[in-house]
Structure 1
Amino acid sequence: MIKFALLCARGHEFESWFQSGDAFETQAQARLVHCPFCQVTEVSKAIMAPAITSGEKERTEPVVAPAESQVALLDQHDLELRSMIDAVRKRIFDAADDVGARFPEEARKIHNGLLPERPIHGRASFDEARALIEEGVGIWPVPPLPDEHN
């Protein structure tokens, strides 16, 4: 495993672990690596000092993090975009019944006319969502926001 210092197109710096340098390149080209602050997938390696060890074990005192650390803040564009996303999500969730894990079953019943038509939301695995789409059931994924479960 190797740790890389990374930089997104908006200037946020962060670190991530990869199996190898090639693994990072493959994932970055496939846009699988994203910035944890703004979700941008345009990510590149930042300049970093190599970690070199002498092979000898040495005793070191624990390092205490400074009281103030730099945090990447959202710029005005990010804040406006986040506000719009929050408003859309609120409208969706306020207008629909939360059926939780029963979503695939409920969506099929509504689609097949076994239940009255109404807006619903809930959870479905990737495979369940794919099956619903293949069956012609109209669904729209609403992914969770990065900090939704904090």
Structure 2
Amino acid sequence: MIVFDLACTLGHRFEGWFASSSAFADQQDRGLILCPHCGSNDVMKAPMAPSVPAKSNTRPTAQQAMTGTIPPELVKAMKALADAQSKALKHSTWVGERFAHESRAMHYGERDQATIHGQATREEAVALADEGIAVVPLPFPVAPPDEIN
């Protein structure tokens, strides 16, 4: 497929997709290309800027690309949230898939209170909340310690 910028004699610009340059010429000769704005079939190719990809050494990093489209206030808030989570997890113990079991054991006095984090299914989290056990989902994913490089 090839994409052309097109324009009618009234100056309306639009885009057209064609199988080839000759397919465009054939449809133009037969009057099949119509301006979607005014219905005119007097349509020509409009000047187009060439599509030149950036050199690989000049492309923005993922961080630069993300922060270029996200408002700076949101980037600042997300960084503060990530920092707070990181500090909280420093003094927390990873319990993995035993999170629901360990949370219940602490709630019912079967083990000492401690700050823990781990994995729970949605159903497990709902059941814990229904039992009055306070759990909070982490805003950012956490990799299990044994999976960290």
TM-score normalized with structure 1 length? 0.50
Residue type at the aligned position of 2:73:
H
Q: Please, which of 99, 102, 109 is the counterpart of residue 105 of structure 2?
A: 109
Residue type at the aligned position of 1:136:
G
Question: In the alignment, what sits opposite 1:138?
Answer: 134
Q: Which runs of 5+ in 1 are unaligned?
A: 1-48, 56-62
- Output the aligned Cα RMSD: 3.2
Q: Is the 8 A contact 2:82 2:140 kept in 1?
A: no
- Number of residues of Structure 1 aligned to a counterpart in Structure 2: 93
- Choose between structure 1 and 2: higher helix proportion: 2
Q: Distance in 2 between matches of 1:51 and 1:131?
A: 55
SS of 2:106 mapped into structure 1: helix
Q: Distance in 2 between matches of 1:126 and 1:79?
A: 28
Q: Which runs of 5+ in 2 are unaligned?
A: 1-13, 21-50, 142-147
Counterparts in 2 of 1:51 and 1:134: CA distance versus 1, 3 Å: farther
Question: In the alignment, what sits opposite 2:89?
Answer: 93
Question: In the alignment, what sits opposite 1:120?
Answer: 116
Task: Within 5 Å, give how 1:1-150 maps onto structure 2.
Answer: 52=17, 54=19, 65-67=53-55, 68-69=58-59, 71-73=65-67, 74-144=70-140
Q: Distance in 1 between matches of 2:106 and 2:88?
A: 18
Q: Is the 8 A contact 2:95 2:118 kept in 1?
A: yes
Counterparts in 2 of 1:69 and 1:53: CA distance versus 1, 3 Å: farther
Q: CA deviation at 1:82?
A: 2.3
Q: Distance in 2 between matches of 1:102 and 1:139?
A: 14
| 1:10-34 CA-partner distances (Å, limit 9, x unpaired) | xxxxxxxxxxxxxxxxxxxxxxxxx
